[in-house]
């Protein structure tokens, strides 16, 4: 349960400035934390830190535990002696405002492989000992992940059910043969995860020491082409060939006549319950090593989820199936006292979803951009908020506030003007102020709204397969007036340490 008033910024690390094609865990991340402090902010909300999948989305990662190795700071690897000056020359095609993943991935992967080779070839016993300690501590997921990535690369990234049967079904002798024949490749993937872990741990410590807390993000479902599904096939609804028999989605609604077919395999919750939800507890424990509290995506799926036969081409012919509900969260509560979880309770929310959220005192989410379509009764309007809430102008899936306002229907715009007592001038700051003065204990602003950016700067457009997850800002976009206005608003509405002392 949230008890202190505070505010923060939503920004994925890839959106940070930086020399090597995308934001990472380097010096610009520390500079951003320093800026958060100067602007009176308490929280930095990141999106999933896992490896990107189709459409460059971190919500379809090849592992629920592994971090995105594209976030590794190359300059830090060079400081360790594992890369040279030539490796740190940026690609001439890199842009400061957008990520070009077709350039970014080969550039960074080549240097990560070089760093790994140098690390293993010139290993120093004291450093290597730290690496080995990490491998032992994280072995419950790291061994399977490194094996999965090694085999997947050998198999040209075909889905794992298309691998030779003895590998797809995890024959012990076949897996041992891979371990014996591919030690360098397995070592590479472990080295990358160690580098990710130690760099992020130092960055999180830097933030925490300055009073900034990290909000992480846990997708409810995992990708089929992942180490998790391959290594724990009994925990998922798969047929005898290892293919999903049913998949996740959401039913038809106002936004889509055919619903959304996500395609993720669904959990065999009966088996999870028999294990005491061990895999989920391990997953959440790992997520809480990376963050101070975590937002769990699609919270309503724990109450009931939309199950679609895998043979369908859209989500129309699905059905609601009961999820684990209270049993899972009782297990969480025993493992994690205080339950540092945010419930992403957006979408089709029924009374039983609210009941589960409130029973465990989990904060829900309110999005101000959703507030102006249904009159005074709309629960996204600030006068309906409760304290145990995290309120946003918008999330990564929404347009920027400026873009949203520019495309808002006239009747909603008229109501918004009336409700906000505004003519629409500087609407991003009007919206941020409306949230700040609300009773919601935490308010979060996308960085684009602080900078007053138009819709072309949005992070993600659900349903659009290309052009997402590419946005970056540059330091010259942050003006002193942005920092001063944010700090003043935060103090004025009692959301900073300074205001708490008054």
Query: Which pLDDT score is estimated for 500?
Result: 38
Question: What are the helix (H) ranges across 19-138?
Answer: 27-38, 74-79, 101-121, 125-137
Return the percentage of the chain with pLDDT > 70, whole number: 99
- Using DSSP bridges, classify how beta strands 260-265 and 246-250 pair: parallel, antiparallel or unpaired: antiparallel
Which segments within 225-333 are labelled E, that is strand?
246-250, 260-265, 293-296, 304-309, 319-322
Query: Which pLDDT score is estimated for 372?
Result: 96
Residue 187 contacts residue 120 (beta carbons within 8 Å)? yes
What tokens were used for 415?
């109501």
Query: Which pLDDT score is estimated for 498?
Result: 57
**CA atoms of 442 and 388, how far apart (whole Å):** 8
Task: Give me the sheet containing 43-45, strands edge to edge.
Answer: 341-343, 293-296, 213-218, 43-45, 6-10, 442-446, 389-392, 364-367
**58 Cβ contact list (under 8 Å, min separation 6):** 12, 47, 48, 49, 50, 51, 52, 68, 469
Taking residues 136-146, report their average pLDDT.
Answer: 98
Can 73 be counted among the known catalytic residues?
Answer: no
Domain ranges of the chain: 232-362
Instruction: For 191-230, write each residue's pLDDT tens digit.
Output: 999 999 999 999 999 999 999 999 999 999 999 999 999 9
The mean pLDDT of the chain is 96
Residue 472 contacts residue 419 (beta carbons within 8 Å)? no
Taking residues 365-369, report their average pLDDT.
Answer: 98
* Active-site pick, 297, 345, 399, 449: 297
Of the listed ranges 104-113, 170-179, 251-260, 317-326, the least confidently predicted one is: 251-260
Query: Where is 213: in which H helix or E strand?
Result: strand 213-218
Can 344 be counted among the known catalytic residues?
Answer: yes
Task: Give me the sheet containing 304-309, strands edge to edge.
Answer: 260-265, 246-250, 304-309, 319-322
Q: Terminal CA-to-CA distance of the chain, rounded, Å?
A: 24
pLDDT above 70 (res 350): yes
**CA atoms of 484 and 496, how far apart (whole Å):** 13
Sign of the dihedral defined by the CA atoms of residues 287, 349, 259, 457, in that order: negative
What tokens were used for 358?
């409130």
pLDDT above 90 (res 109): yes
Query: Which pLDDT score is estimated for 502?
Result: 37
pLDDT above 90 (res 412): yes
Question: pLDDT band for position 52 (50/70/90)?
Answer: very high
Can 397 be counted among the known catalytic residues?
Answer: yes
Taking residues 380-389, report their average pLDDT.
Answer: 97
Return the percentage of the chain with pLDDT > 90, whole number: 93
Query: Where is 266: in which H helix or E strand?
Result: none
* Active-site pick, 100, 312, 326, 397: 397
Query: Which pLDDT score is estimated for 499?
Result: 45
* Active-site pick, 228, 344, 399, 449: 344
């Amino acid at each position: 349960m949230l008890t202190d008033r505070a505010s923060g910024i939503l920004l994925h690390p890839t959106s940070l400035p930086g020399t090597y094609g995308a934001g990472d865990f380097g010096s610009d991340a520390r500079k951003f934390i320093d800026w958060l402090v100067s602007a009176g902010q308490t929280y930095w909300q990141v999106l999933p830190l896992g490896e990107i999948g189709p459409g460059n989305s971190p919500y379809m990662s090849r592992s629920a535990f592994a971090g995105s190795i594209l976030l590794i700071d190359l300059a830090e690897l060079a400081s360790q002696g594992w890369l040279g000056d030539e490796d740190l020359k940026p690609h001439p095609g890199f842009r400061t405002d957008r990520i070009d993943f077709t350039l970014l991935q080969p550039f960074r992967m080549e240097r990560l492989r070089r760093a790994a080779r140098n690390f293993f070839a010139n290993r120093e016993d004291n450093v290597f000992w730290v690496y080995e300690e990490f491998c032992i501590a994280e072995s419950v997921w790291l061994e399977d992940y490194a094996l999965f990535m090694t085999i997947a690369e050998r198999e040209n990234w075909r889905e794992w059910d298309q691998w030779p049967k003895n590998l797809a079904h995890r024959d012990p002798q076949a897996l041992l043969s891979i371990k014996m024949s591919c030690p360098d490749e397995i070592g590479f993937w472990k080295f990358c995860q160690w580098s990710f872990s130690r760099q992020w741990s130092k960055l999180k410590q830097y933030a925490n020491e300055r009073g900034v807390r990290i909000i992480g993000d846990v997708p409810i479902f995992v990708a089929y082409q992942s180490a998790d599904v391959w290594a724990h096939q009994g925990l998922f609804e798969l047929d005898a060939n290892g293919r999903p028999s049913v998949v996740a989605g959401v039913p038809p609604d106002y936004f889509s006549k055919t619903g959304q077919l996500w395609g993720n395999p669904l959990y065999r919750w009966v088996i999870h319950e028999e294990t005491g939800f061990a895999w989920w507890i391990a997953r959440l424990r790992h997520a809480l090593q990376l963050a101070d509290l975590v937002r769990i995506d699609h919270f309503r799926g724990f109450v009931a989820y939309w199950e679609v036969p895998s043979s369908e081409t859209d989500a129309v012919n699905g059905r609601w199936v009961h999820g684990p509900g209270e049993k899972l969260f009782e297990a969480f509560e025993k493992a994690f006292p205080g339950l540092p979880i945010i419930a992403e309770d957006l979408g089709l929310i029924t009374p039983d979803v609210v009941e589960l959220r409130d029973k465990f005192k989990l904060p829900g989410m309110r999005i101000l951009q959703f507030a102006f379509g249904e009159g005074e009764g709309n629960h996204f309007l600030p006068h309906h908020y409760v304290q145990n809430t995290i309120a946003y102008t918008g999330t990564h899936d929404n347009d920027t506030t400026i873009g949203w306002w520019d495309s808002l229907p006239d009747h909603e715009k008229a109501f918004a003007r009336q409700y906000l007592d505004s003519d629409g001038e500087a609407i991003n700051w009007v919206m941020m102020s409306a949230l700040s003065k609300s009773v919601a204990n935490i308010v979060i602003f996308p960085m684009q709204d602080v900078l007053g950016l138009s819709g072309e700067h949005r992070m993600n457009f659900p349903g659009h397969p290309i052009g997402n997850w590419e946005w970056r800002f540059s330091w010259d976009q942050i003006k002193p007036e942005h920092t001063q206005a944010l700090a003043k608003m935060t103090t004025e509405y009692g959301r900073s340490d300074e205001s708490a002392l008054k």
